[in-house]
Amino acid sequence: MTGTRTHLTGERAPCGRLGDAHRSQENDFEGFRLDDVVFACGCRQSRHEFHDGSVRIRTVRHNGKVLLDEHSGDHEA
């Protein structure tokens, strides 16, 4: 599994604030991928793709409120 961490500037967080963020990406090149962004204010966005083709997307504000939590897969069509 390989991974990278990138510092981002001037990103808009889910709460609307502009600021810095860190993006972490990991990939096993067999269908499993993680993409997580943590903003300076504490908001988070994540996209996780699993080996079975399902995807989970989650967005959480800095106060803990879940704005988006979706899970989909080929078996749910």
- Asked whether the predicted pLDDT for residue 1 surpasses 80, the reply is no
Q: What six digits make up the tokens of 32?
A: 């499993």
List, for residues 14-55, the tens digit of each pLDDT value: 999 999 999 999 999 898 999 999 999 999 999 999 999 899
Query: Where is pLDDT greater, at 42 or 73?
Result: 42
Measured in whole angstroms, how far is the alpha carbon of residue 8 from the centre of its chain?
14
- Asked whether the predicted pLDDT for residue 77 surpasses 80, the reply is no
Question: Confidence class of residue 2 from pLDDT cuts 50, 70 and 90?
Answer: confident
pTM of the predicted model as reported, rounded to 2 decimal places: 0.86
Q: How many domains does the chain have?
A: 1
Spatial distance between the Cα atoms of 39 and 66, rounded to a whole number of angstroms: 15
Domain that holds residue 44: 2-76
